[in-house]
Amino acid sequence: MRKPAFAVTAAAGILASGAALADFPERTIENIFPWTQGAAMAASQIVAKAMGDELGESITIVSTPGAGGTKSFITAMGRPADGYTIIDGWVAPLVLQPVLGNADWTHADFKPLHAAHSVPFSVGLSADNTRWSTFEEVMAYCAEHPGELRYSTDARENLPHMVTARVLQAYNCVAQNIPYGTDGDAVKDLKAGVLDFAYVNPRAYLQEPEAFNMVLALTDSEEAAKTYGGAPNLTDLDIDIGISGLAPMGWTWWLVHPDTPDEETEILRNAMGAAMAREDVREQLRNIGFNPLSYGPDQYDAVVGPVREQLESMRNAIAWEEEQMKAQ
Amino acid sequence: MFDSLLAGLPLFLTFQTIALVTIGVCFGLVVGALPGLGPLMGMILVLPFAIGQPPIAAIGLLTAIFVAGSCGGSVSAILLGIPGTPLAAATLFDGYPMARAGRGADAIGISISSSALGGLFGGVILIISTPMLAEFASGFTAPEYTALAITGLITVAVISEGSLTKGLLAGCFGLLIATIGTDQFSNGYRFTFGSYHMLDGFHIVAIVVGLFAIPEMVWQVMRPGLDEKVMLPPVRVGLRAIALTLGHWGNLLRSSALGAFFGAIPGASGVASSFVAYAAAKAMARPDEKYGDGAEGGVVATESANNATVGGVFVPTLALGIPGDAGAAVLLGALVILGVFPGPGLFANQPEIVGGIFLVYLFSNVLLLILGVLMTPLFVYVLRIRASTLIPVVLLFCAVGTFALQASVFDLWAMLGFGLVGILFKAARYPLAPVVIGVILGPLLENNYRRSLLISREGHWIFIDRPISAVLLAIDLILLIGVIVYGIRQARARRTAVQPAG
pLDDT tens per residue, range B89-130: 778 888 888 888 888 888 889 999 999 999 999 888 888 888
Q: What is the pLDDT of residue A16?
A: 44
Q: Which residues contact A107 (CB under 8 A, 6 or more apart)?
A: A94, A95, A300, A301, A304, A305, A308
Overall pTM > 0.80: no
Out of A41, A63, A150, whose CB is closest to B455?
A150
Element (H, E) at B373: helix B351-382
Residue A213: per-residue pLDDT: 94
Contacts of A198 (CB under 8 A, 6+ apart): A123, A124, A151, A152, A153, A186, A187, A189, A190
Residues A159 and A214 in one domain: yes
Cβ-in-10-Å burial (0-12, 13-18, 19+) of A4 comes to exposed
Same domain, A79 and A203: no
Is A321 a domain residue? Answer: yes
Instruction: Name chain B contacts of A67, Cβ cutoff 8 Å.
Output: 182, 187, 189, 196, 199-200
CATH number at A127 reads 3.40.190.10
**H helix intervals, chain A:** 2-23, 39-55, 70-77, 91, 97-99, 135-144, 159-170, 185-191, 202-207, 222-225, 262-277, 279-287, 300-314, 316-326
B2-38 in b/e form (b: 16+ CB < 10 A) is: eebbebbeebbeeeebbebbbebbbbbbbbbbbbbbb
Residue A8 belongs to a domain: no
Strand partners, A125: A213
* Chain-chain contact of A188 with B455 (C-beta, under 8 angstroms): no
pLDDT on residue B157: 61
Q: Given pLDDT bands bounded at 50, 70 and 90, which one contains residue B502?
A: very low
Using an 8 Å CB-CB cutoff, list chain A residues near B189.
67
Whether residues A206 and A153 share a domain: the answer is: yes
Find the range with the poorest average confidence among A132-141, A165-174, B80-89: B80-89
In a domain, A241, yes or no: yes
What proportion of chain B, given as a percentage, has pLDDT over 70? 94
- Give yes or no for a cis peptide into B224 (omega within 30° of 0): no
**What is the widest separation between alpha-carbon atoms in chain A?**
90
For chain B, the farthest-separated pair of C-alpha atoms sits apart, in whole angstroms, at: 72
A230 and A255 part of one domain: no
* pLDDT on residue B499: 65
Nearest CA in chain B to A189: B141
Mean pLDDT of B456-483: 88
Residue B170 CA: distances (Å) to CA of B150, B154, B431: 15, 11, 7
Q: Does residue A191 share a domain with residue A201? A: yes
A43 and A150 assigned to the same domain: no
* Angle at the Cα of B182 from the Cα atoms of B179 and B185, rounded to 5 degrees: 90
Q: What is the pLDDT of residues B170-211, one digit of tens each?
A: 889 999 999 999 888 888 889 999 888 888 889 887 888 888
- Which one of B341, B350, B449 makes the best mutation probe of the A interface by having the most chain A beta carbons within 10 Å? B341
Using DSSP, state whether B31 is helix, strand or coil.
helix
Count: domains in chain A: 2
Residue A13, in any domain of the structure: no
- What is the rounded average pLDDT of the residues B411-422? 94
Mutate which: A145, A156, A188, vs B, most B CBs within 10 A: A188
Q: How far apart are the first and last CA of chain A?
A: 84
Q: Domain map of chain B by residue range?
A: 2-491
Of B141, B187, B189, which has the smallest distance from its Cβ to A157's Cβ? B187
pLDDT value of position B485:
82
User: What range does the domain containing A72 cover?
Assistant: 29-119+249-295
CA–CA gap between residue B133 and residue A148 (Å, rounded): 33
**Overall residue count recorded for chain B in this entry:** 502
Q: Are B445 and B153 in contact (CB under 8 A)?
A: yes
A96 and A67, same structural domain?
yes
Instruction: Please judge whether A64 and B339 are an interchain contact, meaning their C-beta atoms are less than 8 angstroms apart.
Output: no
User: Given B142, B199, B443, which is nearest A66 (Cβ)?
Assistant: B199
Identify from A27, A28, A194 which residue to disrupt to test chain B contact, counting B C-beta atoms within 10 A and taking the largest count: A194
ipTM of the prediction greater than 0.85, yes or no: no
In this complex, do B187 and A156 lie within 8 Å of one another by their Cβ atoms?
A: yes
* Residue A192 resides in a domain: yes
Examine residue A309 and state whether it is found in any structural domain, yes or no.
no
- A11–chain B nearest CA distance, Å: 33
